[in-house]
């Protein structure tokens, strides 16, 4: 049977996994890496770059590059990249197609189906948009799994432990998801979810960037887009360095600003104090919703790149009064779990006993008459938030006035008391016989399944009339032919072929550094890049060597950018610097290019 690809389609990074030989394994991309940045860029010729090449182009070609689009899935937001505009699900489709193509190359077989994880707070519209992204990428997506369910699956699969209550703390680039999961007799049940979709690693970057600007009394109004991007990425680098060491330098080296400050972990805590406060709230809420105390939790699983920060773990230990929180590959947990889910869907013998339940992350209901204020209809909830899935529930409604001939039920998603504050998903209309008020019954049944499909049934016992509808959002949902057209349109888009990818990545990297540097270093980068292009075109035999050397060179430039400020002032002697590196052979090689090219 063909393999199903498990995909963690992340805001910042995406990963793929498959169920293989009784376990979930990550699938590397064309660079041999597990993380593919969820970034898409288009060049003048219309070639699409996805992943780390596109990420380099964020700073050098901001107008042709998009990132963080997952946040706007299903909203209709348009991204203009070069000549064309794209919806968030179309950009996601390009990421999915890249993952699919890389996986096919790695697995040596074609992949037609995928299970994709989405945040628990994603509403139906966003879930449908995710499925559509799959369809446009040429993938059948029958199952969408909540990210916390995936993390719990991975955890349970790893530890092979007995019954357990697990707290999943997923702290990514832009969102925080906290969930309480119970595992009993091979049933994995999500008991409660909570979170903050406006809190993530980027907020730490932004806080650091703001601190930097304050320290030097710089008004961000006067900065170019490029400088702002450089400041943000320096902030992120500094934050990541603080994961490894107790202090780190934040260095900004752009044509507009050349400054650095030293930040300690303690500073980071002070600068980001309000973020920690926000972080604690969903944890408390989930424990309250799940009606348990911290000592009843068996395992605390940290997921998402931001959990790598030691201060995040320490803060959690503090608020949970626990000393036993460990971090295992936080950025791989979800993908590994989706891989398990793919295995379940493949009905692999090894895991046929594992039953995955999920919960409904939002409430679903219908509108009812508000006697005191007829203009503001109330929500009557049929399925409550945090209900285990699949679920089927019925409520009985009666006619509100004498002689009423029709009952209309708007179907809503959300937690608000008034329907106008919730999301309208559809409407069902029932004709009823004209009778005195409160004498005609209509039974409304909602069935919500693990794949996020809502089925609504309305039944009038008096007339035996019954109506059924399956909720799909009309405006944003596409018909089969529309999907086919999109699929055709998108399959004509050329994604940078894997064999050229490494070259293009190096060029994009070089271009970004070129933009960031000035003076002598700018010229040096240009010389090396020209030389490199020359070798690639004329001497394919040396291409591998040239790639290796250019990579070393760019890595050096990058690290020098991180640690030195002004090239010309510091009088960095390129020659002696290479000798320091102890690679005379490389120096020779570069010299040859220089001579040939200039």
What are the residues binding ligand ADP (CB under 6 A)? 10-13, 172-174, 200-202, 236, 239-240, 243, 304-306, 308-309, 331
Paired with 89 in beta bridges are none
Residues 133-172 that bind Mg ion (CB under 5 A): 172
Pick the catalytic residue: 3, 8, 205, 524? 8
Nearer to ligand ADP, 101 or 203 (CB): 203
Site of tokens 């202090």: 247
The C-alpha atoms of residue 549 and residue 467 are separated, in whole angstroms, by: 69
Nearer to ligand ADP, 10 or 410 (CB): 10
The C-alpha atoms of residue 263 and residue 246 are separated, in whole angstroms, by: 9
202 binds, among Mg ion, ligand ADP, none (CB under 5 to 8 A by kind): ligand ADP
Contact 431, 442 (CB under 8 A): no
Rounded to a whole number of angstroms, the minimum distance from the CB of residue 194 to ligand ADP is 17
The C-alpha atoms of residue 304 and residue 420 are separated, in whole angstroms, by: 35
Residue in 588, 1, 16 with CA at minimum distance from that of residue 334: 16
Nearer to ligand ADP, 172 or 410 (CB): 172
Residues 471-500 that bind Mg ion (CB under 5 A): none
> Is 182 strand, coil or helix?
strand
Instruction: Identify whether 100 is a catalytic site residue.
Output: no
Rounded to a whole number of angstroms, the minimum distance from the CB of residue 240 to ligand ADP is 4
531 binds, among ligand ADP, Mg ion, none (CB under 5 to 8 A by kind): none
Nearer to ligand ADP, 67 or 447 (CB): 67
Instruction: Identify whether 89 is a catalytic site residue.
Output: no
Radius of gyration (C-alpha) of the chain in whole angstroms: 27
How distant, in Å, are the alpha carbons of 236, 314, 386, 425 from that of 77? 26, 38, 29, 19
Rounded to a whole number of angstroms, the minimum distance from the CB of residue 281 to ligand ADP is 19
Nearer to Mg ion, 12 or 379 (CB): 12
Contact 175, 306 (CB under 8 A): no
Question: Could you tell me the strand order of the sheet in which 441-448 lies?
Answer: 391-398, 441-448, 454-460, 465-470
- Give Cα 511 distance to the centre of its chain: 27
* DSSP conformation class of 34: S
Rounded to a whole number of angstroms, the minimum distance from the CB of residue 304 to Mg ion is 5
Nearer to Mg ion, 171 or 514 (CB): 171
User: Is the link from the previous residue into 390 a cis peptide, with omega within 30 of 0?
Assistant: yes
Rounded to a whole number of angstroms, the minimum distance from the CB of residue 184 to ligand ADP is 28
Rounded to a whole number of angstroms, the minimum distance from the CB of residue 555 to ligand ADP is 18
Residues 169-188 that bind Mg ion (CB under 5 A): 172
306 binds, among ligand ADP, Mg ion, none (CB under 5 to 8 A by kind): ligand ADP
Nearer to Mg ion, 177 or 524 (CB): 177
13 binds, among Mg ion, ligand ADP, none (CB under 5 to 8 A by kind): ligand ADP
Measured CA angle at 284 (ends 279, 285), to 5 deg: 100
Pick the catalytic residue: 170, 205, 331, 496? 170
Rounded to a whole number of angstroms, the minimum distance from the CB of residue 70 to ligand ADP is 8
Rounded to a whole number of angstroms, the minimum distance from the CB of residue 334 to Mg ion is 6
Measured CA angle at 254 (ends 54, 10), to 5 deg: 30
Per 3-state DSSP, the chain is made up of helix, strand and coil in percentages (nearest 5) of 45, 25, 30
Rounded to a whole number of angstroms, the minimum distance from the CB of residue 84 to Mg ion is 28
The C-alpha atoms of residue 526 and residue 528 are separated, in whole angstroms, by: 5
Q: Is 337 in the site for Mg ion (CB under 5 A)?
A: no
Question: Could you tell me the strand order of the sheet in which 378-383 lies?
Answer: 378-383, 364-368, 406-413, 423-431
Nearer to ligand ADP, 171 or 509 (CB): 171
The C-alpha atoms of residue 449 and residue 447 are separated, in whole angstroms, by: 7
DSSP state letters, 263-282: EEHHHHHHHTHHHHHHHHHH
Q: Is 10 in the site for Mg ion (CB under 5 A)?
A: yes
Nearer to ligand ADP, 316 or 430 (CB): 316
Query: What contacts 412, CB < 8 A, 6 or more positions away?
Result: 364, 365, 366, 367, 379, 419, 422, 423, 424, 425
Select from 304-312, 531-539, 577-585, 587-595 the region that touches Mg ion (CB under 5 A): 304-312
Measured CA angle at 163 (ends 159, 165), to 5 deg: 90
DSSP state letters, 367-422: EE--SS-TTSPEEEEEE-TT-EESEEEEEEEE--STT--EEEEEEEESS-SBGGGS
Pick the catalytic residue: 124, 147, 511, 533? 147
> Is 33 strand, coil or helix?
coil
Q: Is 305 in the site for Mg ion (CB under 5 A)?
A: no
Rounded to a whole number of angstroms, the minimum distance from the CB of residue 53 to ligand ADP is 18
Select from 3-11, 251-259, 508-516, 543-551 the region that touches Mg ion (CB under 5 A): 3-11
Nearer to Mg ion, 81 or 342 (CB): 342
The C-alpha atoms of residue 112 and residue 118 are separated, in whole angstroms, by: 19
Pick the catalytic residue: 70, 260, 308, 528? 70
Pair of tokens at residue 134: 């799959």
Instruction: Identify whether 8 is a catalytic site residue.
Output: yes
Residue in 114, 110, 120, 112 with CA at minimum distance from that of residue 143: 114
Residues that bind Mg ion (CB under 5 A): 10, 172, 304
Q: Which residues have a catalytic role annotated?
A: 8, 70, 147, 170
């Amino acid at each position: 049977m063909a393999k199903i690809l498990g995909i963690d389609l992340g805001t910042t990074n995406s990963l793929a996994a498959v169920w293989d030989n009784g376990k979930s394994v990550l699938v590397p991309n064309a660079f041999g890496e597990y993380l593919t940045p969820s970034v898409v860029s288009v060049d003048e010729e219309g070639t699409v770059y996805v992943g780390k090449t596109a990420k380099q182009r964020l700073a050098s070609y901001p107008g042709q590059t998009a990132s963080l689009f997952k946040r706007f899935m299903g909203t209709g937001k348009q991204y203009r990249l070069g000549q064309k505009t794209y919806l968030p699900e179309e950009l996601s489709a390009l990421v999915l197609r890249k993952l699919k193509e890389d996986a096919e190359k790695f697995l040596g077989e074609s992949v037609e189906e995928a299970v994709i994880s989405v945040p628990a707070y994603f509403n139906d519209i966003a879930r449908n948009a995710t499925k559509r992204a799959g369809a446009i990428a040429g993938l059948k997506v029958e199952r969408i799994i909540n990210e916390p369910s995936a993390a719990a699956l991975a955890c349970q699969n790893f530890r092979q432990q007995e019954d357990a209550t697990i707290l999943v703390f997923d702290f990514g680039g832009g969102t925080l998801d906290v969930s309480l999961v119970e595992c009993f007799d091979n049933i994995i049940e999500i008991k409660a979810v909570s979170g903050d979709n406006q809190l993530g690693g980027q907020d730490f970057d932004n806080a650091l960037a703001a601190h930097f600007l304050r320290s030097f009394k710089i008004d961000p109004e006067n900065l170019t887009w490029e400088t702002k991007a450089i400041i943000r990425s320096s902030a992120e680098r500094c934050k990541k360095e603080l994961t490894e060491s107790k202090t780190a330098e934040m260095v900004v080296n752009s044509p507009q600003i050349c400054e650095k400050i030293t930040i300690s972990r303690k500073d980071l805590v002070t600068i980001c104090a309000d973020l920690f406060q926000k972080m604690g709230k969903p944890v408390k809420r989930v424990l309250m919703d799940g009606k348990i105390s911290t000592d009843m939790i068996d395992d605390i699983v940290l997921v998402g790149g931001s959990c790598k920060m030691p201060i995040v773990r320490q803060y959690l230990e503090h608020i949970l009064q626990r000393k036993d929180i460990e971090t295992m590959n936080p950025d791989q947990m979800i993908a590994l779990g989706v891989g398990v889910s793919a295995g379940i869907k493949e009905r692999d013998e090894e895991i046929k006993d594992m039953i995955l339940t999920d919960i409904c992350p939002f409430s679903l209901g219908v509108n009812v008459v508000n006697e005191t204020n007829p203009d503001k209809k109330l929500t009557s909830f049929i399925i409550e938030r945090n209900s285990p899935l699949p679920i089927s529930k019925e409520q009985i409604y009666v006619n509100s006035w004498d002689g009423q001939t029709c009952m209309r039920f708007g179907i809503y998603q959300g937690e608000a008391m008034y329907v106008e504050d919730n999301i309208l998903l559809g409407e069902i209309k029932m004709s009823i016989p004209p009778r005195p008020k409160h004498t005609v019954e209509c039974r409304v049944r909602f069935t919500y399944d693990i794949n996020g499909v809502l089925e609504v049934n309305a039944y009038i016992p008096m007339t035996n009339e019954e109506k059924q509808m399956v909720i799909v959002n009309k405006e944003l949902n596409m018909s089969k032919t529309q999907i086919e057209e999109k699929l055709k349109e998108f399959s004509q888009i050329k994604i940078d072929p894997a064999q050229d990818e490494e070259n293009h990545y190096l060029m994009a990297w070089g271009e970004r550094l070129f933009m960031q540097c000035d003076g002598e270093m700018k010229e040096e980068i240009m010389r090396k890049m020209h030389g490199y292009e020359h070798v690639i075109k004329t001497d394919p035999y040396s291409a591998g060597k040239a790639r290796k050397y250019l990579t070393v060179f760019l890595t050096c430039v990058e690290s020098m950018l991180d640690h030195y400020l002004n090239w010309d002032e510091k009088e960095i002697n390129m020659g002696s610097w290479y000798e320091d590196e102890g690679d005379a052979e490389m120096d020779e090689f570069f010299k040859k290019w220089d001579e040939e090219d200039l």
